[in-house]
A and B are shown apart, each in its own frame.
Chain A
Amino acid sequence: MKEGDLLQDRYEIQEIVGAGGMGSVYRARDTNFKAIRLVAIKEMISQVTDPLVRRNILNIFEREANILATLRHPAIPRIYDYFSRGDRAYLVLEFVHGKDLDQILSQTTTFFPPEQVFTWAVELCDVLHYLHSHEPEPIVFRDVKPSNIMVNLQNHIVLVDFGIAKVFQAGQKNTMVGTQGYSPPDQYRGEATPKVDIYALGATIHHLLTLRDPRLEAPFSFDERPIKDINPDIPPEMIAVIDRSLQYDPDNRFESAEEMRDALLNAAHKTGTLLDLNLPTASYSRKAGIKPLWTFECEDEIRGTPALYEGTLCVGCYDNNLYALDASSGEFKWKYATDGGIPGRPAVLGGNMFFGSEDHRLHVVSTQSGKVVWTYFTDAPIRSSPRIAESHVFIGSDDAYLHAVNVNSGRMTWKAEASSPVRSTPFITNELVYFGTEEGDFYAIDFRGEVKWHFKAKRAVTASPVVVGDAVYFTSLDGTLYALDAHSGWVVWRFRMGKGSISSPCVIDNLLFVGSADKAIYCVDIRTAKETWRFNTDHQVSGSPVVYKDSIYCGSVDGHLYCIDYQSGQLRWKFGTEGPVTGTPLVHDDIVYFGSTDKKLYALLA
């Protein structure tokens, strides 16, 4: 075909972008759409006359079509159409703008930055794991190599050419296909297990880090070209991961692409390579065996939420201490004792941690030293968490007041009477402070402490409100999720949950996420007040969800931390602890930190 040809009365050929043994790849425009939509068209011309060989070639092509049709992953091109015409067959695919790694390799004269190679590697592990966990049978790509890996304009990788990918059937011998230099010895024996992809991935990363083309070297000779001798900038932790993936004996390699991904992430965390990287989150559900990066055990239940300041993680505990740990290792730094349990979440300002304790006090402690800066007394236990704005810290107390305290002096500027305990954490925006009370009153007060408007729910409003756009959203023990006009307090809509809630909502992309005592985590469209999805845990959800990248993280009284795809409500993974998880997790730099009533603080890869 040539430029301007119209295929199927629909695809207008623009140019040849690649030519292979059995045909060409074209860039074409889909004229069914007014908007410019580009597609890649793979053409397979079978000039062989032998009908059997021809059938075989067609089969390969059709297999690619069928495999692609079942897959959905950002790193795999979508298939739009498959058809044949005479002696030619066509595959219409999503057009990927970018270059393949082979081209990129041939254009570079210097080593790639290690974090760049690392990002590609993690994304490749991700997509390979997706293929390998394909149901009902894993798919083995069988030809991982730079020329089959595209890098798109957003610098994400896309796996192309599924021509020889194969649905793996255990115990079956397969014919040898693949590319010399990247393929492992087991593939030459006709084995096509997921481990051949892991080896080939290792070979590809080795090539990227050393710029030594394995096709020009003796087979299986990576150990004769140690990375550290060629590219001294690569940290040994990362080299160890690659070396393990390149083991001659498949039994010595990683068990799965997922294990390799986690090993890479671990290595990156240890060496600091991960800073400033924007990694995609896994789009699969991890089945089992999540190992925490670290855990830390306190002497009593952790019901609060950790806070992070410059690598130091602080969390309150019911053993009356605030603990400060090294966020990367979980190593103990210091602890600060109060005279009561510490619920809630510390607020951070100027290197100081602000937090309430059931000893009636608001404490301010230096994150650096763990020494007290000042404390402020209320007349009853504090179960609310502080919020800081305009040089003041706002915090509720069981003494039925909301207190506004100067951050520097620790002196009260005013306190607003709420007539019942304030356990809700105030939300501050547009010079208004929003909070609820245990009697179900909900207030918006201004910075002078004067009530701007007031609303009454049927039962306690313990959770924290959140303001998005012109509405404030909060839950109540009366089983309702409320949306009120933030300026006036009128009800815009109500959403009924199965039971009461003390979980605080979070909102992203017009979707609101919140837990309830009816065991569910809800996703509600805030414009229509309609449920988008609901995820059922095995017990009450009293913690609050947080969104990080494309997942939400939320604990449940059933003892698990759940990671859920926020668009679909599909479980990605869950992690079990020995007690109810009632606090809210903190996710930072791809690590999720959360406490459990089993007295432990956990750090997991997000």
Chain B
Amino acid sequence: MTNPIKVFINRLFKKQSLTVNEATTAPLTEQQIREIAEETHRYQPPQLLVGSGRDVGLVRNNNEDSLFTFIATMATEKRSLPFGIFIVADGMGGHQNGEIASEKAVRAMSTHIIKKLYTPLFGIQPHPPQESLQEIMEQGVLEAHRAVMRNAPGGGSTLTAVLVLGNQMTVAHLGDSRAYVIQRDGRMQAVTRDHSLVRRLEELGQITPEEAAVHPQKAMLYRALGQGEPSEPDISNHSFPHPGYVLICSDGLWNVVPEDKILRIINGATDLNQACADLIEAANAMGGPDNVAVIIVSLSD
């Protein structure tokens, strides 16, 4: 074993002995490597990075969750402008109507935003949109509602849509999917409020969180798409967390995997798609009782 070539070959092929021998020196993490690499030079304009994941779970037969992501980067001499649309919808109602409802909701919402915002801003003769971001999101939710009513009668869907434009983030929300803002320092805060009956009872102090967790009407929503009269969405504006992440997910994730675990997984993953996969695996490890749709977004630089 003193032959240096043998040692070298051993190192190449006996990975296990290598890690044992050199266990005292921890290998660099992906992030450290990136940081070192970044010190040399940065070629990327500010841009959105996205990961997503979707799974039926271990109990259900069909997947009623839909998601949509869209990112654009335009970097010119005049300005760099990250742009992104991220939507999660969780459908409900029998006879495949849940699947159709969430799909139609996502399609209608994304189409509306692209038509009203993407085309004017990124077209050959760019012009600022006529409507405010708030109004565009409101109208988009209305379009999504109509699409669900038309295509999935009797069905319904939640809708949590995040529009990112530069540093602005506008969130439109109906139902009990959630959007979270996660700061790099570990603060994680939901920027949406669940429109669930049980959550409302809890907010009003009528029932305790423990009672809420086992309430028979846990899944009952008091606002959603496709339920007769259009429901008024919650629309809110935030600065995009930078550095940090935005997490959008259906209740199949947040209801099953505790927040601190979600946070640990996101902070520990090497890239955003891996993080989404790890989150779904965590939900399935807890029994996978529901469909999961999850999107994680961050802003580079």
Contact = CB atoms under 8 A, between A and B. Distances in A.
A411 interface: no
Given A471-B168, A492-B134, A32 B236 contact: no
A164 interface: no
A529 B238 CA distance: 12
A494 B208 CA distance: 38
A441 B166 CA distance: 23
Binding site secondary structure of chain B:
mixed
Nearest to A468: B239
A529 B168 contact: no
B208 A32 contact: yes
Interface string A475-492: 000000001010111111
Contacts of A488: 79, 81, 128, 165-166
Nearest to A452: B79
Contacts of A491: 128-129, 131-133
Nearest to A469: B239
Nearest to A491: B132
B236 A485 contact: no
A457 to B, nearest CB: 13
A490 B235 contact: no
The bracket for how many chain A residues form the interface is 20 to 34
Nearest to B169: A470
B231 interface: no
A326 to B, nearest CB: 43
Interface in B85-139: 128-129, 131-135
Contacts of A309: none
Contacts of A526: 237
Contacts of A487: 79, 166-167
Given A488-B81, A492-B170, A527 B238 contact: yes
A528 B236 CA distance: 4
Contact of A490 (B165, B234, B236, B239): B165
Interface in A438-488: 455, 469-471, 483, 485, 487-488
Interface string B158-171: 00000001111010
Interface string A577-597: 000000000000000000000
Contacts of A471: 168, 237
A527 B132 CA distance: 14
B132 A493 contact: yes
B204 to A, nearest CB: 15
Contact of A527 (B129, B135, B167, B237): B237
A485 B208 CA distance: 40
Contacts of B131: 491
A287 interface: no
A301 to B, nearest CB: 38
A590 B239 CA distance: 33
A485 B166 contact: yes
B99 to A, nearest CB: 31
A85 interface: no
Nearest to A485: B168
Nearest to A489: B128
B210 to A, nearest CB: 8
Contacts of B81: 488
A493 B133 contact: yes
B209 interface: yes
B171 to A, nearest CB: 9
A34 B239 CA distance: 32
A526 B235 CA distance: 11
Contacts of B132: 483, 490-494
A494 B132 CA distance: 7
A487 B129 CA distance: 15
Given A527-B236, A527-B237, A490 B208 contact: no
A32 B205 CA distance: 12
Contacts of B168: 470-471, 485, 490, 492
Given A34-B209, A470-B166, A490 B133 contact: yes
Contacts of A490: 128-129, 132-133, 165, 168
Contacts of B236: 527-528
Interface string B61-90: 000000000000000000101000000000
B214 to A, nearest CB: 15
B237 A529 contact: yes
Interface in A172-219: none
A493 B134 contact: yes
Interface string B227-253: 000000011111100000000000000
A48 B97 CA distance: 71
20 contacts: A32-B208, A455-B128, A469-B239, A470-B168, A483-B132, A487-B167, A491-B128, A492-B134, A492-B168, A492-B170, A493-B134, A493-B237, A494-B132, A494-B135, A527-B236, A527-B237, A528-B234, A528-B236, A528-B237, A529-B237
Given A488-B128, A490-B133, 8 more contacts: A485-B166, A488-B81, A490-B129, A493-B133, A493-B237, A494-B132, A527-B237, A529-B134
10 smallest CB-CB distances across A and B, nearest first, come from: A491-B132, A493-B134, A470-B167, A527-B236, A470-B239, A469-B239, A493-B132, A485-B168, A492-B133, A528-B236
